[in-house]
């Protein structure tokens, strides 16, 4: 049966959110016809149907977030050739020794995590406990009878014991995504206590967050604390009791062999934990959430930024800073901005002029128009300049392809168009792919010097800071100096020290500086 899967909308994108279904169950769809809008950290994309047929099932509802390659819909009535290819989808589930995978398949977790859809609550039962050493006790026959009932009562206790993912999921048996399990683990939420609003009662990310915000997680943190000692105390003797079961027929044998069951008695010495069971009625444990606190859940963009920034920590970044006299650039823009606005309908920005200086330098310094990978230093032929764009509560880096072939006007138009698409959420996958170097205008915030974080695997990132009028020493001629007021701007280059060194970085950024300081009225904008 042909099924539609969540596509991977970007090399660093691990999951997607169903924004809106463009077709409903029962609708006929043509091959390549858009059927669903998917939202990721950087792009909103309409996903086309890979088959022609009738949409018979929607497996993931609007608002739900699932990993890449998750089955999201079923289309029936496709051609025999397509149907023949469909059975290849469940193939990865064959080697799974655990229960058959649910509708989420066997994809990896978000952000490169190693979480798996297979739950770990059933794993502890396969771990045999070591047999206890024999210890003589005069009342062994009587105590073995006490130990026997302990065995069945501990069967489920060990499954939810511990501090791992099983403790967070608790006794919940429904399907969940890796993202939901991660959030539950982080907040200590037993998913069996959360009312699911997803398809078929599935617990979604929003369900967990609402549970946390309502104080449910805090109540759970308070209640299980006193009861925790009782669970390990009961589960500890359970495995030995199971192994000691064959010793029951040996009761007719000499008393010493029968004493082998006696270790269950010392294990019961943990019984003082039982009176503590009355403690849950007193919510004396301090809540981790103070009154007035609120949780702002991480949206897909924030999670992707977090993943990329964490990845960037592995890059040994070095920095170099220069100060640029922007007198010529300011004069050029002031002389042309009104005519440019009238002719093009958009403003002439400093970003475009600095971008032009940057791509000219990149053509002369191939080591910076590059990616650094485990294979080595890949110097890219195309100059694809990434432009950092601030959006509501986030940041995206759309890419100007073949930026070195564009004039100042061409760069200005591209920057404006990509910025508008970024803020409208209309970027395509192609718009954010293939960058070889990044330019970041942090000066619009009033910043004087910023240490940028490299957009790995790129080798370099350059900032342009605020243009500020400052008194500087200038050559007045005849060997004399003078103080002049000039528009000055700092630029900071962050570079991957694995790919290049300070001397090369200095040459590159100084070429950018010289180009900008050489600008005059003769520079062609178009």
> Are the CB atoms for 43 and 17 separated by under 8 Å?
no
Catalytic entry in 351, 497, 511, 520: 497
**225 phi/psi in degrees, rounded to 5:** -55, -50
Taking the mean position of all CA atoms in its chain, how far away is CA 45?
A: 18
Is 206 a catalytic site residue? no
Structure tokens at 269: 């010495």
Task: Report the C-alpha gap between 478 and 116 in whole angstroms.
Answer: 75
Closest CA to 434 of 384, 389, 360: 384
Q: For the packed helices 327-344 and 408-424, what is the interaxial angle rounded to 10 degrees?
A: 70
> Are the CB atoms for 418 and 400 separated by under 8 Å?
yes
> Are the CB atoms for 388 and 463 separated by under 8 Å?
no
> Are the CB atoms for 19 and 45 separated by under 8 Å?
no
Task: Report the C-alpha gap between 257 and 260 in whole angstroms.
Answer: 6
**422 phi/psi in degrees, rounded to 5:** -60, -45
> Are the CB atoms for 465 and 447 separated by under 8 Å?
yes
Task: Report the C-alpha gap between 242 and 150 in whole angstroms.
Answer: 10
Q: Is 354 left (phi over 0), alpha (psi -120 to 50) or beta?
A: alpha
> Are the CB atoms for 450 and 471 separated by under 8 Å?
no
Look at residue 21 and give its three-state secondary structure: strand
Task: Report the C-alpha gap between 115 and 177 in whole angstroms.
Answer: 9
Query: In sequence order, what are the residues at sequence separation of 6 or more whose Cβ sits closer than 8 angstroms to the Cβ of residue 55?
Result: 23, 24, 25, 26, 27, 28, 29, 35, 73, 74, 75
Task: Report the C-alpha gap between 357 and 351 in whole angstroms.
Answer: 10
Q: How many residues does the chain have?
A: 526
> Are the CB atoms for 194 and 168 separated by under 8 Å?
no
Q: Which residues pair with 65 in a beta bridge?
A: 17
Catalytic entry in 420, 481, 501, 520: 501
Task: Report the C-alpha gap between 394 and 21 in whole angstroms.
Answer: 25
Is 393 a catalytic site residue? no
Catalytic residues, by residue number, are 497, 501
């Amino acid at each position: 049966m042909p099924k539609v899967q969540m596509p991977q909308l970007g090399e660093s994108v691990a999951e997607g959110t169903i924004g809106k279904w463009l077709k409903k169950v029962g609708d006929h769809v043509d091959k390549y016809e858009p059927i669903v809008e998917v939202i990721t950290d950087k792009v909103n994309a309409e996903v086309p149907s890979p088959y022609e047929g009738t949409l018979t099932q929607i497996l993931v509802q609007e608002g739900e977030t699932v990993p890449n390659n998750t089955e999201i819909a079923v289309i029936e009535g496709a051609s025999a050739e397509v149907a023949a290819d469909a059975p290849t989808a469940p193939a990865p589930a064959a080697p799974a020794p655990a229960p058959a995978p649910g509708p989420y398949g066997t994809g990896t977790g978000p952000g490169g995590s190693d979480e798996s859809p297979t739950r770990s609550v059933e794993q502890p039962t396969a771990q045999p406990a070591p047999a206890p050493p024999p210890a003589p006790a005069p009342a062994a026959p009587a105590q073995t009878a006490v130990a026997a009932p302990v065995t069945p009562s501990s069967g489920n206790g060990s499954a939810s014991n511990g501090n791992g993912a099983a403790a967070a999921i608790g006794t919940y048996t429904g399907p969940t995504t890796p993202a939901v399990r991660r959030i539950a683990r982080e907040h200590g939420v037993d998913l069996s206590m959360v009312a699911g609003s997803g398809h078929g009662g599935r617990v979604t990310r929003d369900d967990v967050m609402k549970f946390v915000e309502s104080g449910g997680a805090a109540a759970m943190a308070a209640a299980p604390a006193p009861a925790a000692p009782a669970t390990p105390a009961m589960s500890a003797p359970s495995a030995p009791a199971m192994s000691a079961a064959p010793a029951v027929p040996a009761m007719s044998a000499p008393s010493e062999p029968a004493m082998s069951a006696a270790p269950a008695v010392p294990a019961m010495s943990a019984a003082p934990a039982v009176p503590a069971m009355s403690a849950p009625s007193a919510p004396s444990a301090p809540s981790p959430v103070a009154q007035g606190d609120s949780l702002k859940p991480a949206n897909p963009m924030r999670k992707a930024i977090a993943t990329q920034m964490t990845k960037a920590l592995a890059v040994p970044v070095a920095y170099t800073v220069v100060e640029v006299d922007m007198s010529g650039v300011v004069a050029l823009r002031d002389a042309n901005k009104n005519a440019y606005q009238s002719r093009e309908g958009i403003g002439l920005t400093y970003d475009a002029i600095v971008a032009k200086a940057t791509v000219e330098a990149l053509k002369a310094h191939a080591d910076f128009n590059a990616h650094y990978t485990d294979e080595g230093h890949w110097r890219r032929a195309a100059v694809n300049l990434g432009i950092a764009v601030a959006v509501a509560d986030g940041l995206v880096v759309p890419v100007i392809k073949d930026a070195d072939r564009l004039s100042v006007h061409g760069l200005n138009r591209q920057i404006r168009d990509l910025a508008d698409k970024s803020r409208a959420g209309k970027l395509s996958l192609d718009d954010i792919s293939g960058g070889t170097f990044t330019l970041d205008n942090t000066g619009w915030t009033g910043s004087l010097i910023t240490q940028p974080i490299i957009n790995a695997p790129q080798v370099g990132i350059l900032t342009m800071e605020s243009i500020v009028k400052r008194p500087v020493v200038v050559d007045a001629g005849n060997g004399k100096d003078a103080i002049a007021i000039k528009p000055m701007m700092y630029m900071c280059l962050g570079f991957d020290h694995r790919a290049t060194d300070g001397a090369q970085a200095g040459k590159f950024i100084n070429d950018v500086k010289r180009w900008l300081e050489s600008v005059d009225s003769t520079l062609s904008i178009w």
